[in-house]
Amino acid sequence: MLSLKNILFFCLFLSLSFKVFAEDTLLIRKGYEDYYIKGSYLEILEDPHKDLTIQDVVAPLTSSKFYIYREKDKLPYIVNTNSAYWIRFRIKADSMPEKKWILENLDLHIDQFELYKPSGKNYFKKEIAGYALPFGIRSYPHKNFVFDLSVDTIAQTYYVRVTSRSHNPFILKVRSSNFFTFYALNEYYLLGMFYGILAIMAIYNFLMFLSFRERVYIYYVIYVLSCAIISLAEDGLGFQYIWSDFPEVNRWISLLAPLILMSTFTIYSKKFLELKVNLPKLNTFLDIIILVYIGIFLADEFILHLNWDFPLYIIPFLIIYIASIVCLKRGFRSARYYILGYSFMFFSIILLIFRMSGVIHWDDIFTVYSFNIGLVFEIVILSIALSDRIKIIRSEKEDADKQIIEQLKENEKLKDVANKRLEEKVAERTVQLKEKNDELEDAYQQLTHQSEEIKRMNLLLNEDNTKLEKNVKELSKARVMLKEVDFTEFGHIFPDKESCLKYLSELKWKNGYTCKKCGNAKFCQGKEIFSRRCTKCRYDESATAYTIFHRLKFPITKAFYMVFLVYSNKGKITSFELSQILSLRQSTCWTFSKKVVEAMKEKKKQGADYEQADGWALLVLDYEQQED
């Protein structure tokens, strides 16, 4: 009877064992392409000392220490980063497979991932990949860890050894090669679109910087480039295509990229939100927070090793988010698009921090690529925010210009009112002056007794008037007959260069201005005094251009007087006499007087009227010369 009980117990135990085995084995069914290895399919063993080998693990004593992961909806992950973890799973097919199958680990940030494939009894073939190992050792040139599987109708046991410095989850998938190719191509295509958007935004805003010279654009470009570097490290494309032979770069980028992201985003945000003006105290507080975080980051990385920096990493981003809301409430309209774009980024950064620190272990596409998705939305919207910011600045400038115009109109009205009041005051003052004149007239009548003295004074005045009239007649005659006057008297009429140039400009353009180059009649002030610049072809014509004084080498006042002297003496004055009168070199006087004499001859042929007032001035115009 006892023997029968033992037999029944053994049969029951055997049946239960087969049931457990069936539950723990991943069954590949026909028509299915993709399987998760999670929940009860996984058996896990922690190796605290990292000294177990595959022979130790398959030994009965150690093999019995594996425990089945019973959480169906959660993924196992590395709890203790100082330990090695062994994973065991079984696979079999319900019929002979027609397709090739692969094992893919989706978390590419695991430092070292070793797959032990069954190759005979208690023999295993080792394949290896890892974020801390050269990319070229992988079986497949793919950003994730991909290995071939030998799927058969007989269950086969696989072992995986994992070590990492982060709390990485174990995201293991079994896929057909066809499905894997389809999935990988689509994934790379979408990542290509993602980096294309980043490149377009960076180039576009760099061109905007070159156009507007606004530093906020170059800060934005630097921020986009830092996001691209972080994304390359996060999705593994950088390791695959850029630094394949330098896995240590992964470590440094993973270490420094969050710090670079925070720094560049903070600099850009401070400039965009104009925190130095809008929130100066918060701007200073933000600088202090950044410096404190950098100190904690360095201390934790090189001394403490407590991972305190990840929870604190969110604080500067939170402060900036709050600052943008405060700026919007205070009327800074440019912050509206900024808040919208930043909301996507802020949420993705929170997910990234929680995932990297081991708080959450989700593996869906929105979690894995949360940073990329949030970054695309943020970068596009922030680019729109920059354009909106420029529009607002222009609108504010236009409003300011309108206010200035309105103020000018108001000032004009005030000026008219002031002028009207001033005219009234002048009229009142005129009446007062008239009254004073009447009083003076009365006083004059009262002074008639002084008439004899006044008569005597009148006689003296009459004598002076007679002399004055005589002098005026002589001066008039000297002007008409071109009688020679001295340089001092001549200097009263043309005392300096400015008066000479003014006289020339009035003489040249008394009948209106016409451009010598294009015939345009409109002009503005030229670069020299009394010169005129054509508004069409921008030709600048000086007052001396096309006159006898063009390219003069001595004072123009003396040149004026020399023309007068040569003309008044009908060209018969010598260069020696001119040199003595004007205190100039004889050669200079000879050269210029020769030009005057030639001009006189030419004017004489043209029938010039020498007897008119200022007849000598006819010599200075229409003189042949080169361009001014």
- Tell me what pLDDT residue 143 has: 93
Backbone angles phi, psi at 317, to 5 degrees: -65, -40
CA 290 to chain centre: 23
- Tell me what pLDDT residue 102 has: 95
Backbone angles phi, psi at 620, to 5 degrees: -85, -20
- Tell me what pLDDT residue 628 has: 47
Eight-class DSSP state of 139? S
Nearest to 64 by CA among 88, 38, 82: 88
Assigned token pair, 105: 């680990």
- Tell me what pLDDT residue 52 has: 95
Diameter over CA atoms, the chain: 179
User: Residues of the chain whose pLDDT is less than 50?
Assistant: 1-2, 4-23, 472-478, 480-483, 613, 626-628
Is residue 247 helix, strand or coil? coil
Assigned token pair, 373: 């998705």
- Alpha-carbon span 331 to 93, nearest angstrom: 66
Which residues lie closer than 8 Å to 96 by C-beta, 6 or more apart? 152, 153
- Tell me what pLDDT residue 230 has: 84
Torsion sign over Cα 314, 315, 316, 317: positive
- Tell me what pLDDT residue 368 has: 64
Q: What is the pLDDT of residues 29-51, one digit of tens each?
A: 988 999 989 888 999 999 999 99
- Tell me what pLDDT residue 495 has: 87
pTM, two decimal places:
0.56
DSSP secondary structure of 401-428:
HHHHHHHHHHHHHHHHHHHHHHHHHHHH
- Tell me what pLDDT residue 179 has: 93
